[in-house]
Structure 1
Amino acid sequence: MAVSAGKTTRLLSYCVSLNKIRVAAVQLRKYSGFENSDESKRLKYFVESQDTTRVWPDELMGPISPQDKRFPLPGNIGVSQSQANQEQPRFVLRMPDILEDSTQSDKQLSIVSQLIAESDYLDESSEMSSDGENITDSIIRKYLENATVELAIQPCPKVLYKEFRSIFLEMPKQEISVLTITQKTEHEMSMWSQEVEEEREKLLKNFITTATEICHLLRANNFWCDFIDPSSGQAYFGPYTNSTMFETDDRYNSLGFRIDDLGCCKVIAHKRWGSHSFVGSVVTTASIHHDVMTNLLKHLP
């Protein structure tokens, strides 16, 4: 889904689980060149041994093992010599695909996501036209209300480029894109409690796991990529630096968020979910219109 706000274009995708983004990144990485090793190394074969010097009875099978491999059945019954000379088939063990179980709700949300992807532009405020709300708009509105994760991809604002260079010391000198992953929280993030702290720890772990998979995917396609660790405000893979950018930094205003100063603390606010948000950002040299980026959104939810 593309959202045009002034001169800035953001690609958005909503899903009901952060695991959807992680699974999509893993599945796309299977088709990249990062792990393009020899196919023979990935397959295991069971090939019958040609050794005929085995002493009978076998040490493992004992007296039940055949005396002669040409006569494997009791009573020295075996196959004909012509069939024995034929090449024996090889049995290949393939690793089964790990698929996530999908419920009926997931299937419905998948259909709705396709409707969203087909629309060229969708205003972030979800304001309906004065002509009335049609069925498609109603479905999209309901889908966005049930969504708990937003993935937004946009070009890096000019005011942030220099700031990112001080955080990511290994960042190449070229145009970059920013991916922001916003998770909707159950608790209000503007106040502290034991429940809020436990939820933040869980969401932090989920973000780091997902952002790592996204970085592996982009690096597999020869793009530089790194992300900001929300717990330290520093680059996750890059070297240490004194520059930081925490979740409540005012610089997030240029990425489509709002930083509210409550006096005692600051809190980041999402346009849809307000302060019920946990935000993390990934920085990469991949363009927002590159196939890797668009395919990542296409595979969601």
Structure 2
Amino acid sequence: MKTSAVCPQMRLFASRLRQFSTQTGMAQAPIIFVKGGQSARPNSLLGPADKQFPFPGDVSHKSALEEVGSQPEMSILSDTRHSINSLVSANRVDADATYLNELRINALEEAQERAGDWPIELSLQECPRLLKKDLKFLFPDLKLDKVAVSVLNLTQKTENDMASWSKDMEEEREVLTASFVSSAQAICNSLRSCGYWADFVDPSSGRPFLGHYSNYALFETDDVYKYMGFNIEDLGCCKVLKHVAWGSHAFVGTLFTDAPMDSQIVKDILAKVNEED
């Protein structure tokens, strides 16, 4: 069974996903278990049986049950003896990681703003058998042989023909790649927050974006996409993917998850595509 949903704009869909992926779930109330509830009660004249419940009737003050906050880690600056190299290296690593993360986020947001007002399609189906056999090579650290895997294909309609190379086509493809990565991360975050596994293929390399590196690569022009509703045309010099409605004016990104197709989180994601303003 295959399910599809269409959204009029990629920017609109990305905005909905960002709001959806940042929603916080309800926190479960804490439960306190008392050990040895069925054992004989000791003589209270000899003192409390449990120091956590010192008052009559096995009552405790709430402060005794409060979790003690973790102690802040000692900074390298608090050490009385240190070298210049240790100070520079420690601060540089933190600064570089933060700076690179900010650059990545800014680049993705800029790509979302540059995305055209073209429609997108999110299709969901059970992973085809031919592709399921290759998942052990794409995700070598996971055992997915006996796990039901669903495939989500996010297809963006393009302004340029992806079958004819041009500078405009190349620039548009870079924008669409960044736009897909941003949306795919939001989808995976939503699925993982519900306890499911989820990952997606980096269109620029054909390899898992969140998982470990793999020698196996999956590209949008591979024949397995024929089993997911696309046409693959061999032009001799290269292969071209064609959408059933948009032809070669299409860019496809693929996600994998073990979330059932009828699970609530998957239904909510599809609902975000069909949601009206």
Q: Secondary structure in 2 aligned to 1:243?
A: coil
Map 1:153-232 onto structure 2 (within 5 A).
153-173=124-144, 174-232=147-205
* TM-score, reference length from structure 1: 0.58
Instruction: Tell me the SS of whatever aligns to 2:156.
Output: strand
Structure 1 contact 171–224 (Cα < 8 Å) conserved:
no
Structure having the higher Rg? 1
Cα deviation code 1:27-76 (max 9, x no counterpart)? 3334454x9699xxxxxxxxxxxxxxxxxxxxxxxxxxxxxxxxxxxxxx
**Contact persistence 1:225–1:284 (CA under 8 A):** yes
- Aligned equivalents of 2:24, 2:256: Cα separation in 1: 19
Q: Hey, what does 2:245 align to over in structure 1?
A: 272
Give, in whole Å, the separation in 2 of the partners of 1:261 and 1:215.
32
Contact 2:156 2:250 in 1 (8 A): yes
SS in 2 for 1:299: helix
Contact 2:118 2:156 in 1 (8 A): no
How does 1:1-301 map onto structure 2 within 5 Å? Answer: 9-33=1-25, 148-173=119-144, 174-300=147-273, 301=275
- Shift in Å at residue 159 of structure 1? 1.4
SS across alignment from 1:298: helix
Task: State how far apart, in whole Å, the 2-side matches of 1:170 and 1:22 are.
Answer: 30
**Distance in 1 separating the partners of 2:16 and 2:142:** 25
SS in 1 for 2:160: coil
What whole-Å deviation, never above 9, does each CA across 1:67-126 have from its counterpart, x for those lacking one? xxxxxxxxxxxxxxxxxxxxxxxxxxxxxxxxxxxxxxxxxxxxxxxxxxxxxxxxxxxx
Pair 1:258–1:36, CA change in 2 (3 A):
farther
In structure 2, how many angstroms separate the alpha carbons of the residues matched to 1:158 and 1:171?
17
Percent of aligned pairs with the same residue?
39
CA distance change for structure 1 residues 216 and 157 in 2, over 3 Å: closer, same or farther?
Answer: same
Q: Which runs of 5+ in 1 are unaligned?
A: 1-8, 39-145
Tell me the residue number matched to 1:135: none
Output the CA distance in 1 between the equivalents of 2:248 and 2:261.
27
Corresponding residue pairs, total: 185
- When residues 294 and 265 of structure 1 are mapped into structure 2, their CA distance, relative to the original with a 3 A threshold, is same
Shift >6 Å, 4+ stretches: none
* Cα pair distance change 1:208/1:148, threshold 3 Å: same
The Cα shift of 1:21 comes to 3.0
Q: CA deviation at 1:11?
A: 1.2
CA shift, 1:168, in A, is 1.6
Contact 1:189/1:275 (8 A) holds in 2: yes
CA drift of 1:241 comes to: 1.4
Alpha-carbon offset, residue 147 of structure 1: 6.3
1:231 deviates by: 0.5
Secondary structure at the counterpart of residue 133 of structure 2: helix
Paired with 2:28 and 2:223, the residues of 1 have a C-alpha distance of 45
- Gaps of at least 5 residues in structure 2 are 30-116
